[in-house]
Every structure is written in C-alpha cells, then in structure tokens.
C-alpha cells in the first residue's frame, strides 16, 4: 500500500508558458488529494468505498486544458467574495464601491477573473503534522473593484487517513469585504461513475435558509424556517426526494441553490453529512463559517466534458460551500464579512470521510 507523502508532477502550462504543477497529498489507505496552484484548486480527491476501492469523488478535468478552456469552478478557491453581491456594488464607510458584474446585474464568485482564474504560488510543502501544501497570492487593491491590497494563504492538509482540511488566511491594508471557500462538486459514487446524486442522503445542521429572488439574491426578509418545506434537511433525506416539488424557491433555482444559516458559535462545528447508498461513502463537513451554500448541480447542462471524457449534466454532482452569507456587504442584518487592517481572516473547512 502506498505510504503517506507528497508527489509533485507537471500538469500543464499557462498561456505565457509558466509551468503548472499537480501536487498530490497522500494519506494512508489510498486517501489522496491532488491540488493545482491554478485557482488553488482541489483537482482530485480519492477515498475508499465500503469495499475498500478508492475512487476520485470530485468533478473536474483530467488535463490542464480543460481548466483553462471554461470557467466552471470545479474544486476552485473562490474569492474575493464567494456567491453573489447584488447590483455588483456596496457601500463601505460611506463610499460606494463598484464591482465587475458577471452574473446578470450581480457580481458572482469574485467577478470576471476571480481567485479561481489566478495562478497561486507554492509557499510551503511539508509532511508534518500531515502532508501539507500552502499556497499564497497577493491580490492588488482594486482587483475586480475590491478595495485593499490583500495577502492570502490557502492551506491544504491531509490530517489523517480519512480527513482533508482547507484553511484560508488573509490580511488587508485597508477595510474590505472578504469571503473565501472551496467549490468542489461531489459525487460519492465517483466522478466517472455515471450516476446522479439524487439518491445521496443529505443532512444539513440548519433551521433556517435564505430565500432568494430571480437573480439568486437573498430577499429583503429574515431567514426562513426550513420546517415544513422542501429545504428541511435536519434529518437525512435523499437529495431528490423533494427537488421537483411545486415550490417557488425550487423553481427559481431549478433545484437547490440556497444558503443555509448555520448555528452561531466559535470554532469548527458540524455543518453537513452526505451518504451514498451505492458506494457506502460518507462525507461529514465541519466549518467555522456562518453559512453553507447547498447547490444540487442544476446548471450542469452537458456543455462541459470532464474526467473520463464524460459530459456533466444536471444532478451529476452537488456542492456544499461553507462561506459568509450572500450579499452580506449590502445586508447589515447578516453576520459580518468585513476585514480591517490589523485583523487576520482565518476560516477552515474539514472534510471527514468514512463508510457504512
């Protein structure tokens, strides 16, 4: 069996000829995470099923050309602001800040060229306290309209034979808003399995969610209770059990594409659990973020070929994205996402795997 460790291999070249590596963090028992400095992207995640067979469970591409050709966010680090900001604008300390609109009237996932389209630098590789990769990037003041020179670090670490952590850290030289996350698309049967995630059983530790308008911006109302709605995942429910119910919010999102309001508190907290009845794989997600965006892969439309040359279609995978609530810069009633000089932004996601 392959021992824990780190492998580095060439994966492709940027348009200017700069080499892009693929860094493999290997745990015990076949657990492996492959990361690309381009977009600080989780390119592959291999975990064993109930029979001990390891397979890659995240969507993406087998070669670098696929990542360059289309912006689909597969496994990428999203910034400066994950999710949407209404009208591509906000007011900060009395001054209006105009962003680059790239999702109708709104700014989505950092704008036209977000962190997912940038080449990060490998700052550190170490085997202790587990196979670890640290990536860094300097985002200049005014990039995509956001204020502040931002110094950012992303740390990927294989913490055990069944656990991957992702930690985001950042500092700024002037007040700004910041919201970072990972945008992996999961199918616990395997990225090449050809099965949908509608039978995956999902639990989300949230009593409320944010209802949205036709452009996926939260409505000007308090969070809605999940009780008695198709959005209630407080107990395990198949993703597809209620996805076609005649519900206005499901119609607007073509399925689930909503922020769940996690319980307030400090430190890592349980946020979600996903289980595949076919493979027996179980994913438990822990985070210190206030929200979790559940996206059921509604806009995968067959226009993109991914791993194994498969066309990705609706419900081929789902996303569980821990981050600040959408449009927080325009919503003083939401948990804050402001970062000031002298503060350190630090947020963590832990993906823990097991089988049943």
DSSP per residue over 158-198, as a string? EEETTEEEEEEEEEESS-EE-B-EE-PPB-TT-TTS---ST
Q: Which of 109, 183, 200, 323 is catalytic?
A: 183
Annotated active-site residue 61? The verdict is no
Q: Check pLDDT > 80 for residue 1.
A: no
Q: For residue 159, how many other CB atoms are within 10 A of its CB?
A: 16
Q: Check pLDDT > 60 for residue 329.
A: yes
Closest CA to 348 of 266, 257, 263: 266
> What is the structure's pLDDT at 3?
76
Annotated active-site residue 208? The verdict is no
Torsion of CA 284, 289, 294, 300, to 10 degrees: -100
Tens of pLDDT, residue by residue over 51-73, are 999 999 999 999 999 999 999 99
Q: Which of 25-34, 272-281, 335-344 has the lowest mean pLDDT?
A: 25-34
Handedness of CA 104, 105, 106, 110 (dihedral sign): positive
- Helices and strands (H and E) in the chain: how many: 2, 29
- For residues 11 and 22, give the distance between their C-alpha atoms in angstroms, rounded to a whole number: 5
Residues 6+ apart with CB under 8 A from 88: 98, 99, 100, 101, 102, 105, 106, 107, 145
Q: Check pLDDT > 90 for residue 352.
A: yes
For 65, phi and psi rounded to 5 degrees?
Answer: -55, -35
Q: Which of 61, 163, 321, 323 is catalytic?
A: 321
Terminal Cα-to-Cα distance of the chain (whole angstroms): 22
Instruction: Report how far apart, in Å, the C-alpha atoms of 183 and of each of 42, 250, 294, 310, 317 are.
Output: 9, 21, 11, 20, 12
- For residues 133 and 242, give the distance between their C-alpha atoms in angstroms, rounded to a whole number: 40
Q: 225 pairs with which residues across the strands?
A: 208
For 248, phi and psi rounded to 5 degrees?
Answer: -60, -40
Q: Where do we find the tokens 């939260």?
A: 218
Residues 6+ apart with CB under 8 A from 230: 242, 243, 245, 247, 249, 250
Domains of the chain: residue spans and CATH: 5-197+296-355 (2.70.98.10)
- For residues 175 and 149, give the distance between their C-alpha atoms in angstroms, rounded to a whole number: 10
Q: Check pLDDT > 90 for residue 37.
A: yes
> What is the structure's pLDDT at 29?
85
Q: Check pLDDT > 80 for residue 34.
A: yes
> What is the structure's pLDDT at 264?
86
Handedness of CA 111, 18, 168, 287 (dihedral sign): positive
Tens of pLDDT, residue by residue over 248-299, are 999 999 999 999 999 988 899 999 999 999 999 999 999 999 999 999 999 9
pLDDT band at 160; cut points 50, 70, 90: confident
Structure letter (DSSP) for residue 318: B
Q: 346 pairs with which residues across the strands?
A: 169
> What is the structure's pLDDT at 161?
86
pLDDT band at 128; cut points 50, 70, 90: confident
- For residues 345 and 169, give the distance between their C-alpha atoms in angstroms, rounded to a whole number: 5
Q: Where do we find the tokens 């492996």?
A: 32
> What is the structure's pLDDT at 2?
64
Structure letter (DSSP) for residue 64: H
Cis upstream peptide for 80 (omega within 30°): yes
- Give the mean pLDDT of 112-138: 97
Judged by phi (left if over 0) then psi (alpha if -120 to 50, else beta), residue 102 lies in alpha
Instruction: Report how far apart, in Å, the C-alpha atoms of 67 and of each of 41, 56, 343 are.
Output: 10, 17, 33
> What is the structure's pLDDT at 218?
98
Q: Look over the chain and give the mean of its residue pLDDT values, rounded to a whole number.
A: 97
- The answer to whether 337 touches 178, Cβ cutoff 8 Å, is yes
């Amino acid at each position: 069996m392959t021992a824990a460790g780190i492998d580095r291999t060439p994966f492709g070249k940027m348009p200017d000829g700069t080499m892009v590596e693929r860094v493999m963090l290997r745990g015990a028992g076949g657990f492996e995470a492959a990361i690309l400095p381009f977009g600080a992207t989780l390119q592959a995640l291999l975990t064993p099923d109930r029979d001990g067979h390891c397979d890659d469970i995240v969507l993406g591409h087998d070669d670098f050309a696929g990542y360059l050709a289309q912006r689909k966010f597969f496994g990428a680090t999203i910034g400066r602001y994950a999710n949407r900001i209404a009208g591509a604008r906000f007011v900060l300390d009395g001054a209006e800040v105009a962003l680059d609109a790239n999702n109708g009237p709104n700014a989505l996932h950092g704008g036209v060229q977000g962190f997912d389209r940038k080449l990060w630098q490998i700052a550190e590789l170490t085997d202790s306290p587990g196979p670890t990769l640290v990536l860094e990037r300097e985002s200049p003041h005014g990039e995509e309209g956001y204020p502040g020179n931002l110094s950012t670090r992303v740390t990927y670490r294989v913490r055990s034979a069944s656990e991957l952590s992702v930690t985001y850290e950042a500092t700024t030289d002037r007040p700004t808003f910041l919201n970072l996350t990972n945008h992996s698309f999961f199918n616990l049967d395997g990225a090449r399995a050809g099965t949908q995630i509608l039978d995956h059983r999902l639990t989300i530790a949230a009593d409320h969610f944010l209802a949205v308008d036709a452009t996926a911006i939260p409505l000007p109302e308090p969070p809605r209770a999940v009780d008695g709605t198709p959005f209630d995942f407080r107990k395990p429910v198949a993703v597809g059990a209620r996805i076609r119910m005649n519900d206005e919010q499901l119609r607007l999102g073509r399925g689930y594409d909503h922020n769940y309001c996690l319980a307030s508190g400090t430190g890592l907290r349980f946020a979600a659990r996903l289980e595949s009845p076919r493979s027996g794989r179980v994913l438990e997600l822990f985070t210190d973020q206030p929200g979790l965006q559940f996206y059921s892969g509604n806009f995968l439309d067959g226009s993109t070929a991914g791993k194994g040359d498969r066309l990705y279609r609706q419900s081929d995978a789902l996303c569980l994205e821990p981050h600040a609530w959408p449009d927080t810069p325009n919503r003083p009633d939401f948990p804050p996402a402001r970062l000031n000089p002298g503060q350190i932004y630090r947020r963590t996601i832990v993906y823990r795997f097991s089988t049943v």
